[in-house]
Amino acid sequence: MRTKVGIIGGGPSGLLLSQLLHLKGIDNIVLEKHSREYVLGRIRAGVLEHGFAELMREAQCGERMDREGEIHEGFFVSHDGIKDRMDLSKYSDGNSVIVYGQTEITKDLYDARDKMGGKVVHGALDVKPYDLTSDAPYITYRQGDDLYRVDCQYVIGADGFHGVSRKSIPKDVLKEYEKVYPFGWLGVLSKTKPVSPELIYAKHDRGFALCSMRSQILSRYYIQVPLTDTTDDWPDEEFWAELKRRLPEDVGANLETGPSIEKSIAPLRSFVAEPMRYGNMFLAGDAAHIVPPTGARGLNSAGSDIYYLYHALVDHYENGDDTGLETYSEKALARVWKAQRFSWWLTSLLHSFPEGIEYDRRLQDIDLEYLFTSDSAQASLAENYVGLPY
């Protein structure tokens, strides 16, 4: 088969780009190795920058998001038994974020692709791109015993950290930067009323905690745990007890508990691959960069990649202008590294580090004190949290 843009990866990044390009009449196909049910079963972050939300609306996929999403104009940081509120609206010219689960975003994108007759191939195994530095790259994949070939003009690698796209770039071209954190996040999803109308980021000597939500009847909670822990080490009752210990007393007293729907432990890492373009292949999202979930930059950073790619491809096909394609890696990485800095800073500020010394802990305390006594510091945090301009 033949298309203009071959997209490897059927997560929200690949689907969003596919939808946006289709609306502009740019033919494309999405190849995803997993089933749709598997993709929709992945539980991920749900805090959307205002820029990502605008991109969903432009893709004609924002109706349910705007109807059901929770608009948050701030969040809380708890420490030393108290809560300080970060007023996002005040410090970012009236901007806010939308709490709307990534699973719901993916559902909306799938529905839109179905309605438009979008080409999404599930169960595409052994995907491999070829001739990436030529004017005629192509992708092969297998379904059962049958081998298929997709001839295209551009390849988009949106297949995640473990995907084939980044691995297709020669080692003497690719440079990777990585920081692995000495802890993970144990996350629990439960059918319970959220303990707070806005997110609570909790700094505690026992470790970090986060009170989040998916809706008014579905809560998502996290606690920092050692990398050696497994979910078997954390029965529901022990998770709830530990979460309460890390929250202010008044919050813990109002915490509604219940059976976990989903429970998992995610290790934390910061990762960037450079460049994000190799010949006529362009990396996007987790294929090129990973951030700790602190501050919810992961999906939003992927969204900025898609914004740049979408506009670059439209300029190419509609105006014959390749400037956006030629500068994609540079533009995308400039914003990616700012998101990396913000996630690293917020992670360093709020977590307990096993090898940390008293000097480091004292600096955390001073940093928090400075944050909530400085309008400039709060403005910087708010600007990054609601999303830097594209």
pLDDT score recorded for residue 43: 65
Whether residue 259 is predicted with pLDDT greater than 70 in this model: the reply is yes
pLDDT score recorded for residue 197: 94
Whether residue 293 is predicted with pLDDT greater than 70 in this model: the reply is yes
Q: Name the pairing type of β-strands 47-48 and 154-157.
A: unpaired
pLDDT score recorded for residue 336: 97
Distance CA 252, CA 235 (A): 18
Q: Domains (ranges, CATH) in the chain?
A: 5-72+96-177+269-351 (3.50.50.60)
In percent, how much of the chain has pLDDT > 70? 99
Pick from 4-18, 38-52, 107-121, 170-184: least confident: 38-52
- In the DSSP assignment, the letter for residue 62 is -
Distances (CA, A) of 99 to 49, 50, 211, 269: 9, 11, 12, 23
> How sure is the predictor about 295, in pLDDT bands with cuts at 50, 70 and 90?
confident
**What count of Cα atoms within 13 Å lies in the side-chain half-sphere of residue 276?**
30
Whether residue 28 is predicted with pLDDT greater than 90 in this model: the reply is yes
pLDDT score recorded for residue 266: 92
Give this prediction's pTM.
Answer: 0.94
Task: Locate the DSSP E strands across the chain.
Answer: 5-8, 28-32, 47-48, 70-72, 74-79, 82-87, 97-99, 119-122, 125-130, 138-143, 146-151, 154-157, 175-190, 200-202, 209-215, 218-225, 260-274, 277-278, 281-283, 289-290
Q: What is the pLDDT of residues 197-253, one digit of tens each?
A: 999 999 999 999 999 998 888 999 999 999 999 999 999 999 999 999 999 999 999
> How sure is the predictor about 330, in pLDDT bands with cuts at 50, 70 and 90?
very high
Rg (CA), the chain: 21
Pick from 43-47, 93-97, 225-229, 287-291: least confident: 43-47
> How sure is the predictor about 45, in pLDDT bands with cuts at 50, 70 and 90?
low
pLDDT score recorded for residue 101: 87
